[in-house]
Structure 1
Amino acid sequence: MAQHAAPAPRRAASGFSLSSSAVWVPAVAGILYGFWAANIERFGRGVTGGNVALGFVTGIIVAALCFGIHQWSRQQAGRHLGLRAVTWGAFAGIAVGFLRSLGSDLVLWPIILGLIVLAATSAMVYYRYYTAADPV
């Protein structure tokens, strides 16, 4: 009689690969954010070197921050739920507030919108982390 062995459990990789979502999601987010920022700055006029530079710089910053916050948040898994949630909220609020500030001359509305996005994103991310945490 032959015995069948169960397959060995898969182990999580210690690092990351270029095909993982931890790399391509921030890259795509940075590209889209950069295009969006450059398009808002154009105001319907022709493309200039300043628009292209703004798009590249903002895209790289957003991608780097998104990747960095994600890596830090993975290291803190199960701990500091509120701090992790507020960090993601601040990232989202600042990103939205900056885009809004490109499109208007007012200063107060981008700040208010950024704070609203910060609060909403923090609440959603905290709920997500809290419900996914292992019970103690």
Structure 2
Amino acid sequence: MAHAAPKPATAVRNRPRPLPDVFSARAHLVARWTVIVSAGLVYGYWAATIRRFGGPITGRNLLFGFMTALAFVILCAVIGAVASRLPREGHAVLWGAFAGSALGFLYAQSGVGMITCVVVSLIVGGAVFLGLFYRYYTHEDARGHHIP
């Protein structure tokens, strides 16, 4: 009768174990939306501050800030929902394009030349793409499934 070969004890002991999830799904959902809305408000305030060039705060400036924040929150939520369904390349490209566009929009509010904004946006978007692609590539198997 054949018996299975025993596994070495070091292989079992050295395997990283995932951390326990102590929060409920609702707590994670609330935290996700809190982070997205907070980031949107900071982004909108930042854009409005750049656009007023140190002048007084006006109603038009506040409206611009809130509309910018709303657009940021909506885009961030949509990209978060869509990107998780894409393969790692598409996931990284989408977030890289979002990051580059967001920074380019802020940079354009300062009044610099459009070519400078485009170049800076492409550099930032490319850097974000490379960083996220590396992260997704090292945390997924060949079929694209997340490795815990």
CA distance in 2, matches of 1:127, 1:82: 10
Shift of 1:135: 4.4
Shift of 1:20: 3.0
Gaps of 5+ in 1: 1-8
Which residue matches 1:64?
74
Shift of 1:18: 4.7
Shift of 1:67: 1.3
User: What is the TM-score when the length of structure 2 is the normalising length?
Assistant: 0.74
Q: How many residues align?
A: 122
Which residue matches 2:96?
89
Q: Is the 8 A contact 1:26 1:64 kept in 2?
A: no
Which residue matches 2:134?
127
Gaps of 5+ in 2: 1-19, 144-148
CA distance in 1, matches of 2:27, 2:75: 17
Q: Is the 8 A contact 2:83 2:90 kept in 1?
A: no
Q: Is the 8 A contact 1:93 1:118 kept in 2?
A: yes
Alignment of 1:13-24 (within 5 A): 13=25, 18-21=29-32, 23-24=33-34
Change (3 A) 1:37 1:134: same
Which string of whole-angstrom CA distances, capped at 9 and with x for unpartnered residues, describes residues 61-94 of structure 1? 11111111112223x1xx5111111100000000
Shift of 1:54: 1.0
Which residue matches 1:5?
none
User: What is the TM-score when the length of structure 1 is the normalising length?
Assistant: 0.80
Q: Is the 8 A contact 2:51 2:110 kept in 1?
A: yes
Q: Is the 8 A contact 2:92 2:129 kept in 1?
A: yes
Superposition RMSD on alpha carbons, in Å? 2.1
Q: Which amino acid aligns with 2:56?
A: G
Which string of whole-angstrom CA distances, capped at 9 and with x for unpartnered residues, describes residues 31-59 of structure 1? 00000000001101001122111100110
